[in-house]
C-alpha cells in the first residue's frame, strides 16, 4: 500500500518470467481498489459479468487487458483488505480455485482470517525495517558491523533487556564515537559525548522532572535567547520534543544526538546535585507561622498590613483564601499586572468569575511564591506551567484543600489559579438527582458489566456524579479502580491512580495496568482519545463495569462522540448500559428573589418547550396563573440574584430500539427521539421543571442548555 499516492502496488508475472509493476488506485473502479476503499471482503463469481459487477457497485469494472498480457483467464475473484488497527496495509486477492469450483462462504472466512494475520505480519515487518534498515545503516555502510551481526545485536539486546547501543559497544566492540557519529548522520544532527559535559551545563534549568527526562532519554544542555539545546537518544521523537519546547517556552529547539547510557549517567549526576541543593535550601527555610486574619470590609488589601513575626506574603495569601471560602468560591484567580499596577484577584462563584480584591503590584510576586512553596513547586521557575496541591489550615480546625496551577503570562508575569477542592466525602445519588431519575440510574449502577457514561462540559459536576455512583456500589466484595486527572476527590475504598502524562502515565497506560489488576469496577476520569475509548470497550466486553466521563452536549451526542473516537457501533450498542448527561444551573437567592405572574405567552412558551412532559407531573403547577420567580440581588448573593448551583440531568437507558439505532449508527436526532419516546426527559425539560418549582429562572436555564 502506497499511503502517499493512495495506490495499491503489486507485481504480475508476464510470459517469459517478465515482472511488471501494477499500481491500482484505491477507489471503486477495480475489484482490489473497491475492496481497499470499502474495507470489505469482495466475492465475484464471474469477473467478466458486467451485470454482476454493477450489482456490487455501479462503478465497479474488471480490467481484462491484464488477462491478455498474462495469457490467462480470470473467472472468480475473492479479495479481502489487509488491515492493522483500521489502517490499510494492502489487499489479498485470490483468483480461480484449482479444482475449478466456485468460492464458497468458508473460503470467505478463511481469507478474512488470513488477512488479519497478514496485517499483523506486515506491521511487524514495517516496524522492523524502519528500525534496522535506517537508523544503523551507516554502521553497515562503513563496514563497522555486518547485517548478520546487527541482527544478533538486536536479539541480545532483547534477551538481556539492554539498549542496542550498549550491546554494540560491549559485545561487538564498536567505538562509542563511531556509533554516535553514525546515528547522528542518520538523524542529520551532531553527536555530543555527555561523558565530557559537566552537570553545570544544566544550571539554567530548574524544576526539572527527571523521571520524564529519563523515560524519554532527553538531557537539556543550555538555554538562552529563546533557544534551548537538548541531547536526545531519538531526535525524531517529535511528541516529546514538542512537549519539552512548550514547557520551556523556547522559540527555537536545537537537538543533538547522545547515546542512551550517556544520557542516563548525565541525568544521574545532575539530579544528585539538585537533591543536595534542595536539602540545603530546606534547612535554611523558616516555617510560616499560623496566621489568623479577620475578613475585612474593604475590597483592597492595605500595603502596610503586617503582624509582628508574620510576613506580608503569608498574611495576604491567608486573607485571599479565607475570603474566597467565605464567599463559597470554587476558584481563585490571581492576575498580576506588573510591578507598577495593582494585581487583580477574581473569584469564580456559582460558575461566574467576578473581581473580588486588588493587591499591590509590589506584593503579588511574594504571594505567588509563598503559595508555590506551600505546594512544593519550584519557586524560582516562572517560565513554565506548574501544578500541585496545598492543604491550608483554616479557622475551626478544618483544612482547606486547594489545587494550584501557575501559568507564565505576558511581560514576565505569572498567573496563579487555586481550585477549592470538594469535601472528600462522596455525595449520595439521592442528594444530586431527582427521585424519578435516580431510581432508573441506580438500576444501571447495580449492573455487573458494561459501560455507564457521564456526559457534559468541563465544570458540570461529572466527577461528583462519578464518585457518587461508585459510593453507591462501594462494598468490600468489589475491587474498584479509578484513573483520574486531576484527582479532586480522594476517598477510602477505590484504589485511585493519578494520571500524569508528563511521566508517561496516560489514561490508556493506567487502564492497561488496571486491567491486569483484577478489577470488578473501573472509573475513567476522562475519555478523550481513541486508545482510551477502545480500552474501555475491551474492559466492558471482558465482563467489567466501567464508568467514564465524556465531553458531549447531550446523552445522544455522547453516542456519536464515542463512535467518532473509533468504537464500533455494533460493539458499543452491545455493552453500553446508559448515559447520564448533566449541566449546572445557578439557583435563585432565597433572600431576594421576586415572585411574579408570567404573561400568557411566556407560560405557553414554557409548555411548548416542555414537549408535554410537565402535564404528567402532578407536583408541578402547570395551570395559568402560576407563580414564577426572578433574580433581584442583595448582599447575601453579592448582588447577583443567584446563590448556589443545582444539577440538571437527562438519562438515556440503552435497550430495545435504542440498541438497534446505535448499532446502525443512526443520527443523533433519531437516537434522542427514541430515548424521549422511552421516557427520557431532556436537560431543557428538566430545567423548565426547576423554573416551575421556583428554584431558578427561565433565562438561566436557556443560558446553560442552549448557550
Please return the burial class of 139, using the count of CB atoms within 10 Å of its CB with bins 0-12, 13-18 and 19+: buried
Say if CB 351 and CB 584 are below 8 A apart. Answer: yes
Q: Which domain covers residue 575, as residue numbers?
A: 429-706
Q: Which of 73-77, 356-360, 448-452 has the highest mean pLDDT?
A: 448-452
Residues 269 and 167 in one domain: no
**Residue 488 vs residue 394, higher pLDDT:** 488
For 311-337, give one letter per residue: b (16+ CB within 10 A) or e: bbbbbbbbbbbbbbbeeebbbbbbbbb
For 179-189, give one letter per residue: b (16+ CB within 10 A) or e: bbebbbbbbeb
Domain count within the chain: 5
- Percent of the chain scored above 90 by pLDDT? 29
Q: State the cell numbers at 81.
A: 483488505
Q: What is the pLDDT of residue 294?
A: 31
Domain stop point among 373, 394, 420: 420
What are φ and ψ of residue 212, in 5° steps? Answer: -65, -45
CA atoms of 562 and 569, how far apart (whole Å): 9
Q: What is the pLDDT of residue 416?
A: 94
- In a domain? residue 295: no
- In a domain? residue 299: no
- In a domain? residue 300: no
The mean-pLDDT minimum among 301-315, 348-362, 490-504, 508-522 falls in 301-315
Specify the residue for cell string 494550584.
Answer: 404
> Is residue 549 over pLDDT 90?
yes
- In a domain? residue 304: no
Residue 353, domain CATH: 3.30.450.90
Say if CB 123 and CB 93 are below 8 A apart. Answer: no
Instruction: Examine residue 611 and say whether the peptide bond preceding it is cis (omega within 30 degrees of 0).
Output: no
Could you report the per-residue pLDDT of 620-673, keeping only the tens digit for each? 555 556 788 999 998 888 888 999 899 999 999 998 899 999 999 999 999 999
Residues 6+ apart with CB under 8 A from 268: none
Q: What is the pLDDT of residue 276?
A: 54
Per-residue CA distances from 122 to 119, 127, 341, 443 (Å): 5, 9, 63, 46
Q: State the cell numbers at 420.
A: 477549592
Residues 181 and 206 in one domain: no
Residue 173 is given by DSSP the state: -
Residues 579 and 458 in one domain: yes
Residue 540, domain CATH: 3.40.50.300
Give this prediction's pTM. Answer: 0.53
Pairing of the two strands 495-498 and 386-392: unpaired
Query: What stretches of 147-201 show up as alpha helix (H) in DSSP?
Result: 147-160, 164-170, 176-187
Residues 321 and 433 in one domain: no
R_g (Cα) of the chain, nearest Å: 32
Select from 648, 693, 606, 581 the least CA-distant residue to 351: 648
Mean pLDDT value across residues 4-33: 74
Q: What is the pLDDT of residue 178?
A: 92
For 397-412, give one letter per residue: b (16+ CB within 10 A) or e: eeebbbbbbbeeeeee
Could you report the per-residue pLDDT of 178-192, keeping only the tens digit for each? 999 999 988 889 999
Sign for the CA dihedral angle at 538, 541, 545, 550 comes to positive
Say if CB 582 and CB 649 are below 8 A apart. Answer: yes
> Is residue 224 over pLDDT 80?
no
Instruction: Examine residue 202 and say whether the peptide bond preceding it is cis (omega within 30 degrees of 0).
Output: no
Residue 594's SS3 state is: strand
Specify the residue for cell string 551481526.
Answer: 149
Helix pair 507-515, 530-541: axis angle to 10 deg: 20
Residues 394 and 434 in one domain: no
> Is residue 450 over pLDDT 50?
yes
What are φ and ψ of residue 634, in 5° steps? Answer: -155, 180
Confidence category of residue 244, pLDDT binned at 50, 70, 90: confident
CA atoms of 244 and 232, how far apart (whole Å): 11
CA atoms of 691 and 45, how far apart (whole Å): 66
Could you report the per-residue pLDDT of 567-598, keeping only the tens digit for each? 999 999 999 999 999 999 999 998 899 998 88
Residue 591 is given by DSSP the state: T
Residues 519 and 656 in one domain: yes
Per-residue CA distances from 318 to 24, 371, 395 (Å): 71, 10, 11
Residues 378 and 476 in one domain: no
Q: What is the pLDDT of residue 673?
A: 93
Q: State the cell numbers at 36.
A: 481497499
CA atoms of 593 and 641, how far apart (whole Å): 7
Say if CB 133 and CB 186 are below 8 A apart. Answer: no
Residues 326 and 274 in one domain: no
Q: What is the DSSP string of 14-73?
A: ETTTEEEEEEEESSTTSHHHHHHHHTS-EEES-TT-HHHHHHH-TT----THHHHHHT--
Strand partners, 143: none
- Spatial strand order in the sheet of 450-455: 495-498, 480-484, 521-524, 545-550, 450-455, 576-588, 642-653
Q: What is the pLDDT of residue 310?
A: 38
Select from 483, 488, 471 the least CA-distant residue to 330: 488
Q: State the cell numbers at 220.
A: 537539556
Say if CB 633 and CB 592 are below 8 A apart. Answer: yes
- In a domain? residue 257: yes
Mean pLDDT value across residues 306-324: 69
Residue 206, domain CATH: 3.30.300.160
Select from 706, 648, 650, 647 the least CA-distant residue to 678: 650
Q: What is the pLDDT of residue 1?
A: 67
- In a domain? residue 303: no
CA atoms of 365 and 351, how far apart (whole Å): 27
**Across the chain, which distance is largest between two alpha carbons, in Å?**
103
- In a domain? residue 343: yes
Q: What is the pLDDT of residue 274?
A: 55
Could you report the per-residue pLDDT of 261-299, keeping only the tens digit for each? 899 888 888 776 655 554 444 444 333 333 333 333 333
CA atoms of 238 and 685, how far apart (whole Å): 48
Q: What is the pLDDT of residue 298?
A: 39
Say if CB 258 and CB 231 are below 8 A apart. Answer: yes
What number of helices (H) and strands (E) belong to the chain? 25, 23
Domain stop point among 107, 130, 153: 130
Per-residue CA distances from 12 to 15, 18, 216, 223, 429 (Å): 10, 8, 45, 57, 67
> Is residue 5 over pLDDT 50?
yes
> Is residue 615 over pLDDT 80?
no
CA atoms of 558 and 246, how far apart (whole Å): 31
Domain stop point among 148, 169, 187: 187
- Percent of the chain scored above 70 by pLDDT? 84
Say if CB 421 and CB 401 are below 8 A apart. Answer: yes
Residues 89 and 235 in one domain: no
CA atoms of 72 and 604, how far apart (whole Å): 77
Select from 665, 701, 690, 661 the least CA-distant residue to 677: 661
**Residue 30 vs residue 141, higher pLDDT:** 30
Mean pLDDT value across residues 162-183: 90
**Residue 490 vs residue 615, higher pLDDT:** 490
Select from 408, 414, 424, 398 the least CA-distant residue to 321: 398
Residue 586 is given by DSSP the state: E
Other CB atoms within 10 Å distance of the CB of residue 596: 12
Residues 30 and 81 in one domain: yes
DSSP E strand stretches across 421-525 = 450-455, 480-484, 495-498, 521-524
Q: What is the pLDDT of residue 126?
A: 66
Strand partners, 334: 345, 416
Residues 267 and 378 in one domain: no
- In a domain? residue 500: yes
The mean-pLDDT minimum among 79-83, 304-308, 532-536 falls in 304-308
User: Any idea how long the chain is?
Assistant: 707
Residues 527 and 620 in one domain: yes
Amino acid at each position: 500500500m502506497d499511503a502517499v499516492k493512495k495506490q495499491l502496488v503489486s507485481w504480475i508475472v508476464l510470459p517469459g518470467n517478465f515482472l511488471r509493476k501494477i499500481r491500482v488506485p484505491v477507489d471503486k473502479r477495480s475489484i482490489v481498489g473497491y475492496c481497499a476503499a470499502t474495507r470489505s471482503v469482495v466475492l465475484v463469481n464471474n469477473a467478466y459479468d458486467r451485470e454482476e459487477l454493477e450489482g456490487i457497485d455501479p462503478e465497479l469494472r474488471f480490467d481484462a487487458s491484464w488477462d491478455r498480457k498474462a495469457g490467462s483467464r480470470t473467472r472468480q475473484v475473492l479479495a479481502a483488505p489487509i488491515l492493522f488497527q483500521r489502517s490499510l496495509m494492502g489487499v489479498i486477492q485470490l483468483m480461480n480455485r484449482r479444482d475449478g469450483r466456485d468460492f464458497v462462504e468458508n473460503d470467505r472466512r478463511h481469507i478474512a482470517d488470513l488477512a488479519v494475520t497478514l496485517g499483523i505480519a506486515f506491521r511487524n515487518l514495517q516496524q522492523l525495517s524502519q528500525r534496522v534498515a535506517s537508523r544503523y545503516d551507516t554502521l553497515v555502510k562503513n563496514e563497522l558491523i555486518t547485517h548478520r551481526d546487527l541482527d544478533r545485536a538486536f536479539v541480545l539486546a532483547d534477551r538481556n533487556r539492554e539498549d542496542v547501543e550498549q550491546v554494540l559497544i560491549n559485545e561487538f566492540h564498536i567505538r562509542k564515537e563511531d556509533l554516535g557519529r553514525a546515528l547522528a548522520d542518520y538523524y542529520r544532527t551532531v553527536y555530543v559525548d555527555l561523558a565530557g559535559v559537566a552537570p553545570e551545563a544544566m544550571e539554567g534549568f530548574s524544576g526539572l522532572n527527571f523521571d520524564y527526562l529519563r523515560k524519554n532519554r532527553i538531557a537539556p544542555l543550555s538555554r538562552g535567547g529563546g533557544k534551548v539545546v537538548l541531547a536526545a537518544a531519538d531526535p525524531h521523537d517529535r511528541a516529546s520534543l514538542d512537549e519539552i519546547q512548550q514547557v520551556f517556552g523556547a522559540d527555537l529547539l536545537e537537538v543533538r544526538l547522545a547515546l542512551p547510557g550517556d544520557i542516563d549517567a548525565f541525568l544521574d549526576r545532575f539530579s544528585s546535585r539538585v537533591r543536595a541543593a534542595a536539602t540545603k535550601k530546606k534547612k535554611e527555610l523558616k516555617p510560616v507561622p499560623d496566621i489568623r486574619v479577620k475578613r475585612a470590609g474593604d475590597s483592597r488589601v492595605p500595603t502596610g498590613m503586617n503582624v509582628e513575626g508574620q510576613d506580608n506574603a503569608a498574611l495576604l495569601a491567608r486573607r485571599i483564601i479565607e475570603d474566597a471560602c467565605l464567599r463559597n468560591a470554587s476558584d481563585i484567580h490571581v492576575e498580576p499586572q506588573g510591578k507598577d499596577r495593582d494585581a487583580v484577584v477574581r473569584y469564580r462563584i456559582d460558575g461566574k468569575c467576578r473581581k473580588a480584591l486588588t493587591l499591590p503590584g509590589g506584593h503579588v510576586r511574594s504571594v505567588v511564591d509563598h503559595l508555590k512553596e506551600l505546594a512544593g513547586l519550584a519557586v524560582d521557575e516562572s517560565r513554565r506551567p506548574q501544578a500541585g496541591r496545598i492543604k491550608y489550615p483554616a479557622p475551626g480546625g478544618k483544612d482547606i484543600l486547594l489545587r494550584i496551577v501557575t501559568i507564565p503570562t505576558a511581560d514576565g508575569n505569572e498567573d496563579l489559579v487555586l481550585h477549592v477542592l470538594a469535601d472528600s466525602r462522596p455525595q449520595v445519588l439521592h442528594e444530586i438527582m431527582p427521585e424519578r431519575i435516580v431510581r432508573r440510574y441506580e438500576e444501571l449502577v447495580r449492573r455487573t458489566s458494561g459501560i455507564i457514561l457521564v456526559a457534559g462540559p468541563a465544570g458540570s459536576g461529572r466527577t461528583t456524579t462519578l464518585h457518587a455512583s461508585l459510593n453507591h456500589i462501594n462494598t468490600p466484595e468489589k475491587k474498584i479502580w479509578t484513573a483520574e486527572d486531576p484527582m479532586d476527590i480522594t476517598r477510602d475504598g477505590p484504589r485511585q491512580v493519578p494520571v500524569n502524562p508528563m511521566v508517561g502515565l496516560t489514561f490508556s497506560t493506567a487502564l492497561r495496568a488496571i486491567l491486569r489488576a483484577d478489577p470488578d469496577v473501573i472509573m475513567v476520569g476522562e475519555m478523550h482519545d481513541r486508545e482510551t475509548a477502545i480500552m474501555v470497550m475491551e474492559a466492558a466486553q471482558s465482563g467489567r463495569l466501567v464508568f467514564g466521563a465524556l465531553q458531549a452536549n447531550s446523552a445522544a451526542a455522547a453516542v456519536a462522540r464515542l463512535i467518532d473516537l473509533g468504537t464500533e457501533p455494533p460493539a458499543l450498542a452491545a455493552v453500553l448500559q446508559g448515559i447520564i448527561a448533566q449541566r449546572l444551573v445557578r439557583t435563585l437567592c432565597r433572600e431576594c428573589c421576586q415572585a411574579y405572574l408570567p404573561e400568557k405567552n411566556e407560560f405557553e412558551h414554557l409548555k411548548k418547550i416542555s414537549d408535554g412532559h410537565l402535564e404528567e407531573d402532578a407536583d408541578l403547577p402547570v395551570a395559568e396563573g402560576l407563580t414564577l420567580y426572578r433574580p433581584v440581588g442583595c448582599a447575601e448573593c453579592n448582588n447577583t440574584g443567584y446563590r448556589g448551583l443545582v444539577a440538571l440531568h437527562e438519562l438515556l437507558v440503552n435497550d430495545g430500539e435504542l440498541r438497534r439505532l446505535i448499532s446502525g449508527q443512526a443520527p443523533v436526532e433519531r437516537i434522542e427521539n427514541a430515548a424521549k419516546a422511552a421516557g427520557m426527559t431532556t436537560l431543557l425539560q428538566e430545567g423548565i421543571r426547576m423554573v416551575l418549582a421556583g428554584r431558578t429562572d427561565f433565562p438561566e436555564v436557556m443560558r446553560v442548555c442552549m448557550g
